Structure 1
Amino acid sequence: MSRARLRTRATRTLLAGVAFALAAVAAPATAADPTASLLHPMFDDHAVLQRDQPVRVYGVAPAGQTVRVEFAGKRARARASDDGRWEAQLPAFEAGGPHTLVVTAGDRSQRVSDVLVGDVWLCSGQSNMELQVWRALDARAEMAGAGNDRIRMFTVPQVSDVVPKAAFSETVEWQPVKPETVREFSAACYFFARELQKQVDVPMGLIDASWGGSRIQAWTSGEALRTLGDYDAELDVLGRYADDAVAAVGEWGTLWQDWWSARGGIDADDRPWAADEASGAWRAAPEQLGAWERWGESELAEFNGMVWYRTTVELDAAQAAQGATLVLGPADEIDMTWVNGRGVGSTYGAGAGREYALPAGLLRAGGNTIVVNVLDTYRDGGLAGPASAHLLRLADGSEVPLDGGWRYRVVPPELGTPPRAPWQSAAGLSTLYNGMIAPIGRYGLRGALWYQGESNTFEHDRYAQLLRALRSDWRNRFGADLPLLVVQLANYGAAPTAPTDSDWAALREAQRAVAAEDRNTGLAVTIDIGDRYDIHPTNKQELGRRLARVARHVVYGESLPPSGPVPASTSRNGDAVLVRFDDVSDGLLAYGAAGPIGFELCGADAGSCRYAQAELAGDRVTLRASGAGDATRVRYCWADSPVCTLFDGAGLPAGPFELPVTP
């Protein structure tokens, strides 16, 4: 699920990158460069501009200079501000093209060719949105048959940052769909546009901004997260990180320690990061380290959670007096690291090593303690080996290996999941908004597709307000009525044999509730097209068809039911409970049996749910079970990977839900 795309840097490199980003925001270098582009990189050959709404065109030019824009026989002008930025507005255009966009400022001119006008879609989320066409079902045939000059693709470079970026730091381009260009593009995004174009016959522009393993907080601006009131301390640290990364990391270490100490069941003296920690719970780790699932310890054979690592290194007085960088091998997937009891770094990403600059005066002559907490949420976890891969690099160029032996202790899963450092790439706060959404500018969009949530299942209780915040945030940037098409999480994992609580089901319910409350938000149900053995289901063609259907209803106003049967009401009927459904095409159907399975009746208490017998009659399902008269809730398909058999005549599934029983 997660990808190791984080570029680990020493503090000097980090600060240089931050300074570059700040400079890009405050005063774009292109404004003073006579050879630079006048247009923002979104406006390039083969671009698609949004139809039927005024077109914002923007870029940079010498301060104070008048910029003239011409497109499809229409003209506009703007004046570059003191920092070189300019924005002009052209009138709305009908779908069509190709056209040429010409921009002139002084004696400079830029010409962009083969520009179409149509519908532009932002496709964003984590790995199931990122999953490329070459990894999708029947990929070879799909790529060989791809050829559509009226679908254009734009991939946003995977960049995270602690401050909003004004432009992309890598080369970008629009590409028409061809076998050689579609291969690496988002399969869900491409198949959506291909299907939608069958009914909406206009050019389609697709902007893919996705990152595997990313949390929703990373895609939301700091201003929007501030409105929730839950992230102020982390955002304060993130703000300081831009100016002094080393000091901010130390502050974050203290916040992390406060989280640990506040856990129930933790002794007040239990401080695993402390240099003088003397707990007897530590055990010797294998010399080669590596994935703890392969250590031969039954406790760790299938363990997803936190493990502490600890070692010491001896330095003489001359070594301790030097500046130093702690070098660690890769950690799968998130580390929080201390030296002599002080936080020095935290990084997200399984494939990259870590390099943490140490503050002056932290090291000492004699023994120095290095402690690493590693959090793993998926498959293999742990600190990579061998021990010789971990070292202190001193200012004089010498290296001191951390090969004195590592010890470890396993954290009980009931302690929960620690907070993520706010500067982490896909797991931080606003980092992907800053690096991947902000650089797009205020480009005209028809709507946005959102496929994300797997990385937030552990905090499903927050997800509804986070999704609302992201929706509001993106509407502030791209337009007040921006449609948002949400993909509900697909089934994944072992099928249930008894009613159970499920983080995945609870997050699906949050997605359903947020989509249902807003007329410009739609939900694509995928509970039947996942893969219980693979978190990345490959049938993205059916996903594309379902997203296109949702778009036809939400965006284009077609009267067809958008996503299959949805629960409309519950009521009692003697000792039975009735559930009525809306948006049913050609009646309700049960696959494989006389009645649907997957329904539960629940009381008020945890653990009170029991499977119910279900009968179909028109648009209603009648539920019966022992004690049904006392039921206060109805659940359907409530598991990580439920077996769901209720569909309608259009072949669309009823999605998972939990509803109170109406008295």
Structure 2
Amino acid sequence: MKIYNKYILCCIGSLSFIMSSFANVTIPSFFSDHMVLQQQDNVKIWGWSNPHEPITVTTSWSNDTITTKGTNYAKWEAVLKTPKAGGPYTITIKGYNEIKLNNVLIGEVWVCSGQSNMEWTASAGIDDAETAIAAANFPNIRLFTVSKHSSETPQDNLDGQWQTCSPETMQYFSAVAYFFGKKLYQELDIPIGLINSSWGGSYAETWMPESVFKTNDELKKASEKINPVEWAPYEPGRIYNAMIHPLTKLNISGVIWYQGENNTANSKFYHLIFSELIKSWRQAFNKEMPFYFAQIAPFSYHEFAGVEVRDAQRRTLELPNTAMVVTSDIGDLKDIHPRNKKDVGLRFAQLALKKHYYTIETVVESPLYASAEVKNNKLLVTFNHADGLYATSKTSQFEVAGADEVFHSAKFKIKGNQIEVFSKQVKEPMYVRYAWGNTIEANIFNKVGLPMSSFTTQLIK
């Protein structure tokens, strides 16, 4: 009998060893303790396993058991139906091994991306940094920073870790994203998940799928105008492959974006580049998600490159479900990295609260050029979001031109949400532009104190 029992124990031990050797159910890094999943959605969760390995997924918010198995490519996927915002919850994934995810929240998830002004942290230096850091104790705001990587091919995973928002974690996270998320949390009173995937000194082309360039000759031509830079990859698709593609099966609310400074190198193409970036991301995420972006601030770029990028960003608003934060009043002409990140984040949040969550009714967008018509040798220019227009100085930042496209300084008169613009030097005006210079800071605002965007009606060639 003792020999028989030893035989059984030996078999059990061998079986345990065999089973442990198959214990290879794994998941991407963004499925972890402290994560946030999108509320009231059919959320995908996925990973890797042995082929045909039986897998079950259970959650503490539901009695349902989701069953699936590994494919012949050693991958698996399941869909979880998430409830209204809340938590914390647990998720248990069982194959030959078991993974348990703790302190999971259900709420709103946003991707925050771009170059250095999005990447910029409180520890790098922002206005009133010490106070902001000390107050950053929000357990229901979760932060995930994607580590910098590049790749020649699309990847399925990336490096990063979900963290609870605290003074210790906030100070090394995107400041713009933090202030955006903090305002959403305070207004919505639900968990907020922020995924910061940004890289200072990067071109927009590197944030787009390389395949887009193969089917668009103009886009390919634009990408050939950029040069290698010291701090980031410059080849199309390299950052996208490693830092965005792995996220594209996630369920998210939307994107906030702050980039463009580097693309002053090919500013005349930026409207095309940026429009195609937004389209390609929406296709990759399979969602017409909100895409809100910050207009770059005035700075001493070469020729008219800075204002050309700003105007390209303004014209990208023709795409549906987009909106723009104008920053010409909160920049720093001596520093390409303005330290006022709080107002940028708050302006992003106001856009989301009105246009995506419908919780506020106030004006949240800057005055934007809408149309112009000739009346008695003058141009009557109409603006959107222009209630209560006022000028902070008598200095005119308007210029007009005739058929020769030679611009002359013009006088202006505010008439409601319209502005009359005229110049004695231009008898038959055809074109108008405003704040057309790299370093010109807006001096016209709407009733909520948001600055008018620079613009030109002339075709940029």
The two structures share one fold, judged by TM-score above 0.5:
yes
Write the letter of the residue equivalent to 2:43.
V
Q: Does 1:203 align with 2:196?
A: no
Higher relative contact order, chain-length normalized (CA < 8 Å, sep 6+): 1
Contact preservation (8 Å) 2:34, 2:163:
yes
Task: Name the CA distance, whole Å, in 2 between partners of 1:152 and 1:44.
Answer: 12
Q: Does 1:503 align with 2:301?
A: no
Q: Which residue of the partner structure matches residue 156 of structure 1?
A: 146
Contact preservation (8 Å) 1:156, 1:436:
yes
TM-score by length of 1: 0.63
Contact preservation (8 Å) 2:24, 2:50:
no
Q: Does 1:103 align with 2:79?
A: no
Change (3 A) 1:194 1:233: closer
Work out the number of aligned pairs and report it: 436
Write the letter of the residue equivalent to 2:344.
L
Q: Does 1:546 align with 2:347?
A: yes
1:144-191 per-position Cα deviation (integer Å, ceiling 9, x unaligned): 1110011100010100111112212x4x21001111111111011111
Q: Which residue of the partner structure matches residue 590 of structure 1?
A: 391
Q: Does 1:457 align with 2:264?
A: yes
Task: Name the CA distance, whole Å, in 2 between partners of 1:80 and 1:562.
Answer: 48
Task: Name the CA distance, whole Å, in 1 between partners of 2:156 and 2:93.
Answer: 20
Q: Does 1:466 align with 2:273?
A: yes
- Displacement of 1:38 in angstroms is 2.3
Q: Which residue of the partner structure matches residue 121 of structure 2?
A: 132
Task: Name the CA distance, whole Å, in 2 between partners of 1:33 and 1:625.
Answer: 81
Q: Which residue of the partner structure matches residue 296 of structure 2?
A: 489
Write the letter of the residue equivalent to 2:230.
G
Match for residue 436 of structure 1 among 243, 248, 253: 243
Contact preservation (8 Å) 2:145, 2:196:
yes
Task: Name the CA distance, whole Å, in 2 between partners of 1:436 and 1:547.
Answer: 22
Contact preservation (8 Å) 1:570, 1:660:
no
Change (3 A) 1:79 1:190: same
For residues 166-565 of structure 1, what are the structure 2 equivalents within 5 Å? 166-168=156-158, 170=159, 172-230=160-218, 334=228, 348-349=229-230, 425-493=232-300, 502-515=304-317, 517-557=318-358, 558-565=360-367
Write the letter of the residue equivalent to 1:475.
R
SS in 1 for 2:427: helix
Q: Which has the larger radius of gyration?
A: 1
Gaps of 5+ in 1: 1-31, 236-255, 260-304, 306-332, 335-347, 351-424, 495-499
Task: Name the CA distance, whole Å, in 2 between partners of 1:502 and 1:578.
Answer: 25
SS in 2 for 1:197: helix
Contact preservation (8 Å) 1:598, 1:643:
no
For residues 66-145 of structure 1, what are the structure 2 equivalents within 5 Å? 66-71=54-59, 72-73=61-62, 74-105=64-95, 107-134=96-123, 135-145=125-135
Task: Name the CA distance, whole Å, in 1 between partners of 2:401 and 2:458.
Answer: 9
Write the letter of the residue equivalent to 1:443.
L
Write the letter of the residue equivalent to 1:567.
Y
Q: Which residue of the partner structure matches residue 407 of structure 1?
A: none
Gaps of 5+ in 2: 1-19
Identical positions, percent: 31
Task: Name the CA distance, whole Å, in 2 between partners of 1:54 and 1:47.
Answer: 16
Contact preservation (8 Å) 1:597, 1:643:
no
SS in 2 for 1:470: helix
Q: Which residue of the partner structure matches residue 389 of structure 1?
A: none
Write the letter of the residue equivalent to 1:561.
V
TM-score by length of 2: 0.89
Task: Name the CA distance, whole Å, in 2 between partners of 1:33 and 1:576.
Answer: 81
Q: Does 1:40 align with 2:40?
A: no
Contact preservation (8 Å) 1:597, 1:646:
no
Contact preservation (8 Å) 1:153, 1:205:
yes
Change (3 A) 1:463 1:130: same
Q: Which residue of the partner structure matches residue 273 of structure 1?
A: none
Task: Name the CA distance, whole Å, in 2 between partners of 1:69 and 1:129.
Answer: 36
- Displacement of 1:37 in angstroms is 5.3
Task: Name the CA distance, whole Å, in 2 between partners of 1:565 and 1:93.
Answer: 39
SS in 1 for 2:33: coil
Cα RMSD over matched residues? 2.4
Task: Name the CA distance, whole Å, in 2 between partners of 1:234 and 1:552.
Answer: 35
Contact preservation (8 Å) 1:38, 1:103:
no
Write the letter of the residue equivalent to 1:122.
V
- Displacement of 1:431 in angstroms is 0.4
Task: Name the CA distance, whole Å, in 2 between partners of 1:137 and 1:581.
Answer: 32
Contact preservation (8 Å) 2:369, 2:381:
yes
